[in-house]
């Protein structure tokens, strides 16, 4: 007899192989020149709701340049970034007016920086850091903002009684979790992360990874995450983009790229990882 709580095949939802929902983000022919130097060239990818795309490669491979262009923070030299909003409208991120782009970045997107201090306001309290994005979206009720901020501190495993403390009094791992709370409080549809676990101790890193993994699944977020750490990429991302010298050299399912790498550079990257 089977275990009573297992589902029968009849209950199982149909397989959705290659369903035709439109991507939330489409990056086409992206290039960025810094003077005569190539930041990135010929970069294209699409991202669907609920999907996490990892961009891996060594420092200087152009992955952060791609992230910044895709996130609307850096104007590309060529190519475009198309964002499909919840109402079905498509926005050409670098062609729309600055004010519209800023509004998208505030309402629909979030960015998590490698260094927490780049994403936080160090001079105000933890609660204010988390409440601010809500106020920017028009929330005015102090009690509700404070409650939401408290909830998000708890969700990111920060003691709620630290709500009035400044982030300068927090450890590195706590600051990073606070940045995540600030990024996600306004319920973005799309999150960009630049080496979110970089510079943290491994135990602190594991906690943050677990947190990010849970939140991404729970909230059904689409995310682009840049990391040089292949273990982080394996844990968080569904698909990978491998970059070298500004170009994409390999792309595919995360475990396929890591277990059966095809490009010489990907093989070298995978072979260079220390196995604990």
Partner 1 sequence: MTDRLRIENVGKRFTLHNQGGVAIPVLRGVSLAVAGGECVALTGPSGAGKSTLMRMIHANYRTDEGSIRLRADGQAPWIELAGADPRAVLAVRRGTLGYVSQFLRVVPRVPAREVVAEPLIALGRPVEAARAAAEAMLARLNLPEALWRLPPATFSGGEQQRVNIARGFIHPYPVLLLDEPTASLDGANRAVVLDLIGEAKARGAAIVGIFHDAQARAAVCDREFEIAPLGAVA
Question: Binding residues for partner 1, per CB under 8 A?
Answer: 1-9, 12-19, 48, 51, 206-207, 209-210, 213, 217, 235, 238-239, 252-253, 255-256, 259-260, 262-264, 267-268, 271
Q: How far is the CB of 46 from partner 1 (least distance, A)?
A: 10
Q: How far apart are CB 151 and partner 1 at their closest, in Å?
A: 18
Nearest CB to partner 1, comparing residues 121 and 213: 213
In angstroms, what is the minimal distance from the CB of 180 to partner 1?
Answer: 16
Both tokens of 20, joined, read 């035709």
Q: Which is nearer to partner 1, 19 or 87 (CB)?
A: 19
* Nearer to partner 1 (CB atom), residue 67 or residue 209: 209
**Nearest residue to 196 (alpha-carbon basis) of 213, 208, 206, 214:** 208
Cβ-based nearer residue to partner 1, 187 or 255: 255
**Distance of closest approach, residue 244 Cβ to partner 1, in angstroms:** 13
Compare residues 5 and 97 and give the one whose CB is closer to partner 1: 5
Pick the closer one to partner 1 by CB: 2 or 99. Answer: 2
First to last CA, the chain: 41
Q: What are phi and psi of 210, to 5 degrees?
A: -60, -45
């Amino acid at each position: 007899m089977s275990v009573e709580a297992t589902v029968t095949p009849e209950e199982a939802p149909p397989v959705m192989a290659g369903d035709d929902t439109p991507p939330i983000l489409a990056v086409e022919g992206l290039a960025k020149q810094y003077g005569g130097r190539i930041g990135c060239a010929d970069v294209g990818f699409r991202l669907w709701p609920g999907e996490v795309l990892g961009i891996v490669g060594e420092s200087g491979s152009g992955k952060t340049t791609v992230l910044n262009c895709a996130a609307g923070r850096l104007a590309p030299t060529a190519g475009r970034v198309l964002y499909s909003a919840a109402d079905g409208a498509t926005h050409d991120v670098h062609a729309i007016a600055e004010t519209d782009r800023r509004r998208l970045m505030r309402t629909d997107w979030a960015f998590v920086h490698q260094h927490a201090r780049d994403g936080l306001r160090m001079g105000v309290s933890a609660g204010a850091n988390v409440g601010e994005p809500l106020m920017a979206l028009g929330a005015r009720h102090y009690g509700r903002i404070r409650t939401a901020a408290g909830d998000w501190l708890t969700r990111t495993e920060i003691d709620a009684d630290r709500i009035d403390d400044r982030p300068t009094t927090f450890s590195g791992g706590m600051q990073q979790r606070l940045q995540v709370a600030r990024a996600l409080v306004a319920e973005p549809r799309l999150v960009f992360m630049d080496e979110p676990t970089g510079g943290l101790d491994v135990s602190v890193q594991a906690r943050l990874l677990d947190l990010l993994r849970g939140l991404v699944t729970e909230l059904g977020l689409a995310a682009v995450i840049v990391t040089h750490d292949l273990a982080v990429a394996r844990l968080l991302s569904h698909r990978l983009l491998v970059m070298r010298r500004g170009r994409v050299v390999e792309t595919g399912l995360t475990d396929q790229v890591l277990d059966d790498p095809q490009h010489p550079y990907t093989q070298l990257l995978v072979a260079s990882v220390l196995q604990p």
